[in-house]
Amino acid sequence: MVSYDPQKIEKKWQQKWEASNIFTVKEDLKKKKNKYYVLEMYPYPSGEGLHMGHLRNYSIGDVFTRFKRMCGYNILYPMGYDSFGLPAENAAIDQNANPEEWTNANMKLMKEQQKRIGLSYDWSRMIYSHDPNYYKWDQWFFLKMFDRSLAYRQESYVNWCPSCATVLANEQVQSGQCWRCNSEVEQKFLTQWFLKIKDYAEELLDGLNKVNWPEKVKIMQRNWIGRSEGSIIKFPIVGEDRTIDIFTTRADTLFGATFMVFAPEHPWVKTWVKSTKYEKDFEKFYDEVMRQDKFERTDIEVIKKGMFIGKYTINPMTKEEIPIYIGNFVIFEYGAGAVMAVPAHDQRDFEFAKEYHIPIRIVIQPFDYELNVDKMMRSYEGDGILVNSEEFNGIENQTAMNAITEKLEQIGMGFATINYKLRDWLISRQRYWGCPIPIIYCDDCGIVPVPYEDLPVELPKDVKFTGKGNPLQTSENFIKVICPNCGKQGMRETDTMDTFVDSAWYFFRFMDPISKELPYRKDIVDYWGNVDQYIGGIEHAIMHLLYARFFTKVARDLGLHSFDEPFQRLLTQGMINKAHPYCPKCNTFTMKTDVHDKKCKRCGTEYILKSVKMSKSLGNTVDPLSIMDEYGADAARFFILFGASPESGLEWSDEGVGFANKFIKNTFSMLVDPPEITRKEKTIRDTLVKYILNKMIKLVTNNFEKISIRDAVNNIIQFTSEFNKYKNEGVVEEIFEECREKLLLILHPIIPHITEEIWEIIDKKGFISLASWPSYNKELLTLENDFKWKLINNILDDINNIKTVMRKEELDKISIIIADEWKYRFYKLLLSLINETKNQGEIIKTLMQKDYLKPHSKFISQIITKVLKNVGKYPKFTLTTNEEYKFFQDIKSMIMKKYNCEVEILIEKDSNAQKAIQSLPGKPAIIIT
RNA sequence: GCGGGAAUCGCCAAGUCUGGUCAAAGGCGGUGGACUUAGAAUCCAUUCUCGUAGGAGUUCGGGAGUUCAAAUCUCCCUUCCCGCACCA
């Protein structure tokens, strides 16, 4: 008996895999094999090493990769590190660490831990963002975009995180807080670099239809891009010859516009109120609004505030003058920074109009009732017929949208257009540990791009980390640079790029990590790309996935590759949760520090346990390394894959890992220890064990293909338990061998180390990692086998059941009485009759015409009533009397062994027992004594 | 408010697309037993209710419906989770 020592085995195979380079792949441009690219999201190498989320992500990816590899794909499965980012810089500030050394140490730790899991990466392709050979290409992309005016510098209000001391992209602000540190985000007026992602808005939207992503993620992206069809309407400003060109989706309500609202920060406003009686109030109002952040201003709970500024515009249709207000809810960056307000048909405008006593004019009447201005308690936003709209009166409002827009176009006062919520991507960050933006400012030449041949602009080492300002500004060597245009002294841009730039194209570099002339070579990337399966967290649903799609399209337009979408299929894995003390009254979880308390600190309520996402602040994390140290990587993988389907949340339980461990240990001895009983002649048992083997292979193959890993694991567990029974009952060696080998192959993607070890122990050649996935034999998957399989299980269940009801411990004898011949004929006939009619009377009438059935009329009518009650419950397949008799003869010895008693098989007519009459086809009578 | 997802026998969770073989997999927990001086570990059995013969009854958030047949299909309601949120 060989014992199972996971620590030893796992180390041994990890070393062997590495020494033999078996996971290193090369592009096969002749395409002898199909390629497949599996990718996990580019991880940040944190100093804390792996957490459970990583373990889950990588386990899922590795199982799928190993499965695909065994199926014969040339598979690309790389790993690298998103190694730029704030923590390195904070470590430099707090602990005086060198960001580069600090990051390298973390990467090393992370890599070791990943190897400990047994992941089958091609490590020769490893990349990392802070490698100048990598970020050189960030800069290259930036310059290419600059050349095409896709990168530009602009002054605007931007989101500023005071804690990170840097600006943030819109996507990085969540409910008014910094996505990274949760500090309140402020608004600042700064000059920053943007990438023109808006230019691709339409394509980013369309592309979502070409990818196989969770609907949820697609919807989130669609919402973020926020396409809306509408019209631009030009409102002339009274006393000036310019117009304010506002966007609206409701051109049909134009005749009901009774005021305009401008954003207070709109530059025109300041000039309009200057030296008027409104100036003082405006200043006050402006200061007040500017103190609120964008999110407070647009919060639905906050009261709409505004003021009249003494200025008017002209409604281009009615030519009437309408007053201009400013309002806190209008944001300068959205649309024109001004809106036309139609209080009768927009709730927000309605409230504003009520507050400031602005007239309300109904221009749409609902189909089924009439609105009355004086009685209106809220706006009517639904459809209806136009009124008070001159030539458009009587038209349905949906039609009127186009009609009014067309008219505006004729008179040159507007046109139809499409608006997007998506803003351009702000990439400047006032931080050191990122990719420098390759720009030089020259007093004479202005903004000068660094020449391509001077790339990369490397991060300087002579910087000071004071915790104040951008450390790059402390490096004289870096800042001072000769203008490549005119040769005079210039200054470098000191902002670095958002780290999402690094992760926007890394998956291309994995395909060709050594490319020198270009970020990657077209033929190679066209071979490997796009990513067939991407696996990662839902938290990147918008930011990373949108940026990567944008880069893919830009790079395509630069001629770098030929496809439109980076990630064909996306799996967003669920969170890992763990039960944690929770106060139902205060609706909060206990923090890490109070985790040992029994009662809530605030209200004294007793804590209950509730499942919550693992997090450091709650202190309910479990360290994957400690699990692997205790049970081994295979058990950890097994648990995390078996605990829940990849997409759903996984409830961590220590007991669950215990089961994984138990299963693996049992499986080890089941597969390694030779069977104790062997026999030569084959029986129905052998056929059936092959049947369930093949059925299992089919199920598992389909489930792996769909990445329904948990389902696959369940299929395997069920087969394993049957196989174990078979082994204990006694086996035919050839069949045992076949099952063992195929089970091992199927287990391999999930628990790679132990399967390699057993593969070796049972003298198989080569690495199981490189073996072929087993196919299944369709011919065994018949209705007959299925029927027999159920027959065996049903008879055993029935015997057990009777045994329990009789409260019998030991059995003397089991008699199995097979139904008489006529019952089989009757049953077949009945089934065919039922196919034609469900009418009981008709069926009985037809049956009773048969002479051989006449003597059994009472029995038959009873059975028919039962069968008709639920037709589908009765199997469509039947054996004959003799076949069934033979079948039970075949499994007789097995039953004898199981119950340790005598077993006799009879046919009804040969038995004089009372019970014998109960026998039915597929359901023999059983008598236990 | 808008959008998405969910509610299953103590807990976690499959089953729902494609109705029938579903009292409903599997794990955890519980109970009984074997082993052991005892425990741990392991193994076996059992775990909706009733039943000394394989049966019957009541179940899949609540209500109504379709069907010979509903956890599964349709409609209504309740609750929970997660996105987005005065987007012009």
- The 10s digit of each residue's pLDDT in A778-831 is 888 888 888 888 888 888 888 888 877 777 777 788 888 888 888 888 888 887
Strands A731-732 and A678-679: parallel
pLDDT at A838 over 80: no
Quickly count: other Cβ atoms within 10 Å of residue A330's Cβ: 27
pLDDT at position A851: 81
8 Å CB contact between A262 and A269: yes
What confidence tier does A518 reach under pLDDT thresholds 50, 70, 90? very high
Report the amino acid identity of residue A205. L
pLDDT at position A292: 67
What confidence tier does A26 reach under pLDDT thresholds 50, 70, 90? very high
DSSP conformational letter for A670: H
Q: What's the CA angle centered on A869, arms A867 and A870, to 5 degrees?
A: 75
Nearest nucleotide (CA of A926 to C1'): B54
Q: Is the CB of A915 within 7 Å of strand B?
A: yes
pLDDT at position A297: 62
Which position has the higher pLDDT, A654 or A5? A5
Distance measured from the CA of protein residue A300 to the C1' of nucleotide B63, in angstroms: 36
Q: Is the CB of A188 within 7 Å of strand B?
A: no
pLDDT at position A389: 92
Distance measured from the CA of protein residue A258 to the C1' of nucleotide B87, in angstroms: 20
Which residue do the tokens 């030929």 mark?
A562
Report the C-alpha gap between A847 and A861 in whole angstroms: 10
pLDDT at position A806: 76
Which residue do the tokens 């952040």 mark?
A293
pLDDT at position A434: 95
Report the C-alpha gap between A554 and A568 in whole angstroms: 17
Nearest nucleotide (CA of A294 to C1'): B86
Residue A19, H or E segment:
helix A6-20
pLDDT at position A855: 79
What is the reported pTM?
0.91
Nearest nucleotide (CA of A539 to C1'): B83
8 Å CB contact between A736 and A785: no
pLDDT at A253 over 60: yes
Quickly count: other Cβ atoms within 10 Å of residue A487's Cβ: 10
pLDDT at A601 over 80: no
Give the residue-averaged pLDDT of A7-23.
Answer: 95
The beta strands (E) that lie in A691-749 are given as 731-732
pLDDT at position A448: 95
Report the C-alpha gap between A272 and A289 in whole angstroms: 18
8 Å CB contact between A707 and A68: no
Q: What's the CA angle centered on A631, arms A627 and A637, to 5 degrees?
A: 70
The beta strands (E) that lie in A789-913 are given as 813-818, 902-907
Percent share of chain A, pLDDT over 90: 49
Kindly tell me the sign of the dihedral angle through the C-alpha atoms of A653, A654, A655, A660: positive
Distance measured from the CA of protein residue A575 to the C1' of nucleotide B64, in angstroms: 38
pLDDT at A424 over 60: yes
In the three-class reduction of DSSP (H, G, I as helix; E, B as strand; rest coil), residue A404 is classed as helix
Measured CA to CA in angstroms, residue A253 lies from A233, A362, A397 at distances of 12, 9, 8
Report the C-alpha gap between A634 and A327 in whole angstroms: 61
Which residue do the tokens 């401008």 mark?
A262
pLDDT at position A843: 79
pLDDT at A268 over 80: yes
Q: Which of residues 444-463 of A touch strand B (CB under 7 A)?
A: none
Report the C-alpha gap between A340 and A352 in whole angstroms: 12
In the three-class reduction of DSSP (H, G, I as helix; E, B as strand; rest coil), residue A51 is classed as coil
pLDDT at A512 over 80: yes
Q: Tell which residue, A279, A287, A292, A354, has the closest CA to residue A329.
A: A292
Nucleotides on chain B within 7 angstroms of protein Cβ: 3-5, 12-15, 19-21, 25-29, 41-43, 45-46, 51-55, 68-69, 83-88
Quickly count: other Cβ atoms within 10 Å of residue A568's Cβ: 17
Nearest nucleotide (CA of A249 to C1'): B88
8 Å CB contact between A191 and A153: yes
pLDDT at A300 over 60: no
Q: Is the CB of A588 within 7 Å of strand B?
A: no
Q: Which of residues 356-385 of A touch strand B (CB under 7 A)?
A: none
Give the residue-averaged pLDDT of A132-159.
Answer: 93
Domains (ranges, CATH) in chain A?
Answer: 35-129+500-573 (3.40.50.620), 138-196+424-497 (no CATH), 228-419 (3.90.740.10), 576-659 (no CATH), 674-781 (1.10.730.10), 785-928 (no CATH)
Report the amino acid identity of residue A759. W
Q: Tell which residue, A89, A102, A100, has the closest CA to residue A48.
A: A102
pLDDT at position A295: 59
Q: Is the CB of A330 within 7 Å of strand B?
A: yes
pLDDT at position A359: 92
Among A491-495, A668-672, A682-686, A917-921, the least confident range: A917-921
Q: Tell which residue, A544, A509, A515, has the closest CA to residue A528.
A: A509
Which position has the higher pLDDT, A746 or A330? A746
Q: Is the CB of A177 within 7 Å of strand B?
A: no
Which position has the higher pLDDT, A236 or A165? A236
pLDDT at A298 over 80: no
Tokens encoding A460: 């300087």
pLDDT at position A7: 92
Nearest nucleotide (CA of A653 to C1'): B28
In the three-class reduction of DSSP (H, G, I as helix; E, B as strand; rest coil), residue A850 is classed as coil
pLDDT at position A340: 94
Distance measured from the CA of protein residue A866 to the C1' of nucleotide B67, in angstroms: 17
Mean pLDDT, chain A, whole residue set? 88
Q: Tell which residue, A730, A779, A778, A768, has the closest CA to residue A893.
A: A730
Among A26-40, A439-453, A824-838, the least confident range: A824-838
Measured CA to CA in angstroms, residue A750 lies from A641, A744, A773, A809 at distances of 8, 10, 13, 41
Q: Which of residues 713-772 of A touch strand B (CB under 7 A)?
A: 714, 717-718
Q: Is the CB of A790 within 7 Å of strand B?
A: yes
pLDDT at A433 over 70: yes
Report the C-alpha gap between A547 and A552 in whole angstroms: 9
Alpha-helical regions (H) of A153-307:
201-207, 215-225, 267-273, 279-291, 294-297
pLDDT at A301 over 60: no
Encode burial over A347-364: b for 16+ CB neighbours within 10 A, e otherwise.
Answer: ebbbbbbeebebebbbbb
pLDDT at A876 over 80: no
Give the residue-averaged pLDDT of A199-228.
Answer: 91
Distance of CA A680 to the CA centre of its chain: 52
Q: Which of residues 644-703 of A touch strand B (CB under 7 A)?
A: 644-645, 648-649, 651, 653, 655-656, 658-659, 662, 666
Nearest nucleotide (CA of A650 to C1'): B12
pLDDT at A293 over 70: no
Nearest nucleotide (CA of A216 to C1'): B4
For the stretch A318-346, pLDDT in tens is 999 999 999 888 888 777 889 999 999 99
Nearest nucleotide (CA of A924 to C1'): B54
Q: Tell which residue, A141, A92, A110, A101, has the closest CA to residue A45.
A: A110
Kindly tell me the sign of the dihedral angle through the C-alpha atoms of A291, A293, A298, A299: negative
pLDDT at A637 over 60: yes
pLDDT at position A303: 67
pLDDT at position A143: 97
